[in-house]
Every structure is written in structure tokens, then in C-alpha cells.
Structure 1
Amino acid sequence: MAMPRGSAPPSGPESVPGPPTGPAGDPAGTLAIVGRSWLWILGAAVATLAPGVLILVWPDETLHVLAVLLGLNLLVTGCFRFVSSFARREHADRLAGLLVAVLFVLAGVLCLRHPLQTVTALSLLVGIVWLVSGVVTLHSGLATADLPHRGLVIAAGVLGIVAGIVVLALPAESAHALIRLLGLWLVLLGLFELVLALAWRAALRGSRAPAPPGPGTAA
């Protein structure tokens, strides 16, 4: 997730800065506040890490189980990214975040469809999502001004790009190897998002309010 530009200082350890939230009861403002919470970023990390661990622990489960795990991961991650996109100040950045969120949700729905439940199809979908998400994150890390932990965000984007390229380039001759690879990348991406969440928590406790991770983290 990339970060919008900072604003007012936080009022407490878990207070969240951000762009003006608009009139009271404004849904977009409420989503922006939620998206700035480090706990929200932590939730996204867990949503990526958990299915990766399950896939690695039970690599011999049926393809249907793999499709369900990947599909649910993409759907939940898409929801997290949808909310996080409202924490962006710039309309272009917010639009990019929303498009990435929609991509995650669509890929999740496709993973859950029976006609597409082959290892090759699942790998293609997940690889494309990771690649696009990584590109958006890398761009945000390079282009966003006053970005705390810029190196972590850039590294997260690069990790997502590498994960997408590797999954797309790997021959689909060994379903077992592909399943393990998908699980391994999910674990790595989840761990990296966990580090970003903790770094964002530390930044929130600083003297000046940073901007939260924005569209498309590593996953």
C-alpha cells in the first residue's frame, strides 16, 4: 500500500491523520479514517499470510480447496484495498487504488468459479493481480512526496512485481510445485505487509503525522 501526503499531527498512538473528511457522516471520510489505521493494514497482512500458511501446510489438498483459499484471499484483500484507497489525497491515486481493488475482487470471483479451477488458470489470475498491484505500489513509493518508510513501500512493490513475473513465467508442468510456489509467495507478501503495518504504527507515534500505505501493497 502506498501513502498519501501527510497532514495534521495525530492525537494519540493510534490516531490517524488524513485529508479532510468532509461533512459529518460522510461515507468517504469515514472510509478514509478507517483506511489510515495501522490495524487495518495489519488485517490486510493477516488476510494474505493465513491462506499462504494453509497452502504450505496442506499442499496435497484438492484443487478446489486451493481455489477457495486463493479466491477468498483475493476477495478479502480487494475489500481492504477498497477502503484504503479512500485514504489517498490525490484523485488519481485514489482512482488507482480503486482499480486495483476491483481487480482483486474480480480475480477472486473468477478463482471461485468451477470452470476456471485449474492450476494454470489460478496461477495466471494471481500472477496478473500481483504484477499490477506491484507496479502500482512501486509507482506510489517513487512518486508520493513526504513518504515515511519509502524504502519499505518500494521494496513491497518490487516484491509484488517479482512474484507476479515468477508465477506467470513458471511452466505449469508441475501442479504440486506451482501450489507450493503460490503458498510461499503469499507467506512472503503477508510477512512484508506485516512489517509495513508495524512501521506505520511506529510512524503514527512520531511527532509529525505521516501518510498511510495506499493502493496495492505487495499483495
Structure 2
Amino acid sequence: MSMSHSSEPLAGQETNAAGSSLPPAIDPADQLARLGQSWAWLVGAAMATLVPGILMLVWPDATLHVLAVLIGVYLLVIGGFRFVSVFGRDSDRMPGLIVAVLFVLGGVLCLKNPLQTITALSLIVGAVWLVSGIVTLYTAVATKNMPHRGIVMAVATLGIIAGIVVLALPAESARALTRLLGLWLVLLGLAETAAALAWRSALRRTSITGPNVSGPAR
């Protein structure tokens, strides 16, 4: 006795005109979520902060034009990293989107007029760091089940301090500003690297005990 096989497609599959099943459509949001939840993506964002800081410290005599371009590219790249990382979070995404837009806007302002004054450049970077740190700290406090919450809060606090220092102590020369920003970028990059490694540890535990953690706060 032979059994007949159903020709109906499986649930969730689409069919073409000939009746054959088509692979499910790829959701861009799902792809961004998987990328944003990757610890390697967070490491990439940390390196995008650490590398410019190292360049500034080893090249303190960079002109104001070069410094503005370097800071502008840094802000744009970090804005892109933050935008993708937002999709990897299960909590409210709006604060993260605001931070991402703020970084991109700051980068555009730096690149639009790279010959602007030292004071203007300090105000842009300081404001971005301060607001970003406040939003990240708020997200960490509001997300109760965030893994390694203390590390995220420490990174946010460091960003707030960096913003306050840059805003309260404006540099008098391009060399002084380069050293100041380079120092804070290195510190922030190292802190973000620690947060990324902590997130990797959380992901490894999740793969053993089951998915019970939310995405990283960025």
C-alpha cells in the first residue's frame, strides 16, 4: 500500500506560478539583529574608537584640519556601528537610535567644515560623548536583565566624564586637543573592548543554558 505525498508547501513558504516552493524572504531587520548581537561587531566598534585614539597620541602634531577629518570619520563610523547594534537589542531601541543619529550628525558637522575653530570641534565631540553616555547609562539602569550591567554602566560613566572634561576644559591649541581627545578615545576603546568580551562570555553561557539575555546596550 503506497502513501501519497502532499504537494502543499510548508507553512511560511511562498510558491511561484509553477507551484514550487520558494525560500522564505530575508528580513533585513533580522540580519541586522544577528549582526548587532555578535560580540565581534562590538569589538569592531571598540577598535574604531581605539585606533583613532592611538593615532592621535602618536601623532600629536597633526594639524587642525587633519584632526577634524579624523574625528569626523570616527563619529560617522561609530554612528554606523551603533545603528546596527540597536537591532540586536530586545529592549526599547529609540535611545540607541538617538545616539546613532547624534554620532552621525557630529561626524557630518566635523567634516562639513574641517577648518573650524578648536572650540567648535571640542563642543561637538564633548556634546556627543556626554549625551551618548547619559543615554547609555539610562538604558543600562532601565534594563534589569542586562548581562554585565556594571561594565556597561562603567563605560557610560566614562563617556559622561569624557564629555564633561572636553566641554569644561577647552584646549588652547590643536596639539593639546589632539592629546586630550586621543587619551579619552583610548580609554573609551579599552572600556568598550572589555564590554565586548563580557558580551562574548554572556553569549557563550546563553548557548549552554538557553537564550535568556537581552542584547547589549549601545
Give the TM-score band, short-chain normalised.
Answer: 0.7 to 0.9
Residue from 194, 211, 215 that aligns with 1:212? 215
In structure 2, what is the equivalent of residue 147 of structure 1? 146
Asked if the contact 2:37/2:89 (under 8 Å) is kept, the reply is: no
Q: How many angstroms apart in 1 are the aligned matches of 2:175 and 2:136?
A: 30
CA distance in 1 between partners of 2:49 and 2:71 (Å): 9
1:14 aligns to what?
none
CA displacement at 1:27 relative to structure 2 = 1.1
| Aligned-residue offset at 1:175 | 3.5
Where in structure 2 are the equivalents of 1:170-181 lying within 5 Å? 170-181=169-180
1:213, CA displacement in angstroms? 1.6
Range with bigger deviation, 202-211 or 124-133 = 202-211
Q: 1:117-132 alignment to 2 at 5 Å?
A: 117-132=116-131
- Which whole-Å CA distance do the structure 1 matches of 2:67 and 2:119 have between them? 12
Indicate the larger mover: 166-175 or 60-69.
Answer: 166-175
Q: Which residue of 2 aligns with 1:43?
A: 44
Partner of 2:155: 156
Q: Give 1:68's aligned residue.
A: 69
The AA in structure 2 aligned to 1:64 is: H
- Percent identity, aligned pairs only, is 68
Higher relative contact order (CA 8 A, sep 6+): 1
TM-score, structure 1 normalization:
0.83
Give the whole-Å Cα distance in 2 for the aligned partners of 1:112 and 1:189: 22
Taking the aligned partners of 1:208 and 1:145, their CA distance within structure 2 comes to 18
Pairs aligned (count): 191
Larger Rg: 2
Question: In structure 2, how many angstroms separate the alpha carbons of the residues matched to 1:25 and 1:130?
Answer: 35
- Deviation sequence 1:20-47 (CA, Å, 0-9, x none): xxx7411111111110000000000000
With structure 2 as the length reference, what TM-score do the two structures score?
A: 0.83
List gaps (5 residues or longer) in structure 2. 1-23
Q: Where does residue 107 of structure 1 map in the other structure?
A: 106
Q: Aligned partners of 1:68, 1:83: CA distance in 2, in Å?
A: 23
Cα separation, 2, equivalents of 1:96 and 1:67: 26
**Residue number in structure 1 paired with 2:58:** 57
TM-superposed deviation, 1:116: 5.4
CA distance in 1, matches of 2:116, 2:60: 16
Deviation of 1:203 (Å): 1.0
How far off its partner does 1:115 sit? 5.9
- Return closer, same or farther for 1:115/1:61 CA change in 2, 3 Å cut-off: closer
Tell me the distance in 1 between the aligned counterparts of 2:97 and 2:104: 11
AA at the equivalent of 1:181:
L
Residue 194 of structure 1 pairs with residue 197 of structure 2: no
